[in-house]
Amino acid sequence: MKTSHATVTAALFAGVLGFHSPVSFAALADYGLISGAGALGIATDWTNDTTEVSVIGSGFTSSAQTDFGINQATSGTTTNTLAYAGSLWWDQYTISGGSGTGSASFSAALDGGLTSSGFAGAGVGYVLAVSSTLPTSFDIDFSTLTVSNTSSWLNSQLDAFNTPGGTNVLAYYVDSVSGNSIKAIDQLFAGSFDFTYDTPFYIGAALLTGAGGDSGTANFFNTATFNIGLSSGDTLVVASVPEPGEWAMLLAGLGLIGLRLRARRRPMVG
């Protein structure tokens, strides 16, 4: 974890509703998912749910998928091209069970690998942050990514996550390889952060991968995970998880759908 990157903030979770254009504060939800994949010169494919995004072209492949607490992204090339993928999630949390301020623990893991051969390069960037405010906007620029600047590009993009304040970077990792190299990555992050009881806050993470040249691979699919731990007696409310009443309404709706389906399947009489 790089504590010097205090400016890497939670705008990574809330402002990437397209990775290209800023979004107004009023338009942002309390939680969300973003996945994007593509290659330079080819339109990026995006999704805002748990659907996997996969873009395959001549000499490259890139895929990304996101769920709450999980980042997945991989990029690979077999010819002189440049592929990239990004995965981002954010969520609103509220902790009850006490008064004033408290402390919660967290753990995160980043596992995967980077390979390159010949004139090639590959890199990965990961950041996990907690913020007291919902960030306003974020603009990521894939057009500045090249085969030779993967590491500096990842740093610059992650450092661009800005918010008015109240942000604590919990985990930060950037790495890359070039030439004839193979590197396995198994990073574990653990620690704690402070919060105020019954006051919402935001946690989110972004994972970026890039690969280019003759043969480069950044494989981090389904490997970046996050967990939060509470003190005894504390309870956690997560915005992306329906309340019990909402679950009941959902199940009731599914029951009505089932009744309609059964009614349609009844044989006609007479």
What's the pLDDT tens digit per position in 105-131? 999 999 999 999 988 889 888 888 888
- Above 80 in pLDDT, residue 17? no
Tell me the C-alpha distance between 238 and 51, whole Å: 21
Q: Does the pLDDT at position 50 exceed 70?
A: yes
| Triad 6, 10, 12: Cα angle to 5° | 110
**In which region does residue 69 sit, left (phi positive, over 0), alpha (psi from -120 to 50) or beta (all else)?**
left
Q: Which helix (H) or strand (E) holds 122?
A: strand 101-131
20-33 CB burial, b ≥16 within 10 A, e <16: eeebeeeebeebbb
User: Is 60 exceeded by the pLDDT of residue 4?
Assistant: no
Evaluate if residue 15 carries a pLDDT over 50: no
Q: What is the mean pLDDT of residues 80-93?
A: 88
The amino acid sitting at 188 is L
Strand residues in 143-269 grouped as ranges (E) = 167-178, 181-196, 201-229, 235-238
pLDDT (0 to 100) of residue 13: 26
Token digits for 167?
Answer: 């942000």
Q: Where are the alpha helices (DSSP H) in the chain?
A: 11-14, 150-159, 244-265
Query: Could you tell me which residue, 51 or 23, shows the higher pLDDT?
Result: 51
Query: Model pTM?
Result: 0.78
Query: What does the alpha-carbon distance between residue 192 and residue 171 come to, in Å, rounded to a whole number?
Result: 11
Cα distance between residue 246 and residue 257, in whole Å: 17
* Residue ranges of domains in the chain: 11-241
Whether the Cβ atoms of residue 189 and residue 107 lie closer than 8 Å to each other: yes
| DSSP summary character for residue 27 | G
pLDDT digits (tens, 9 = 90+) for 176-193: 898 899 999 999 999 999
pLDDT for 7 equals 27
Tens-place pLDDT, residues 198-229: 999 988 888 889 898 889 999 999 788 999 99
Q: How far apart are CA 88 and CA 36, in angstroms?
A: 9
| pLDDT for position 19 | 37
Contact indicator for 72, 222 with CB cutoff of 8 Å: yes
- What's the confidence (pLDDT) of residue 169? 84
Nearest 10 degrees: Cα torsion 142, 25, 2, 94:
-130
Sign of CA dihedral 259, 261, 262, 266: positive
Residue 230: per-residue pLDDT: 93
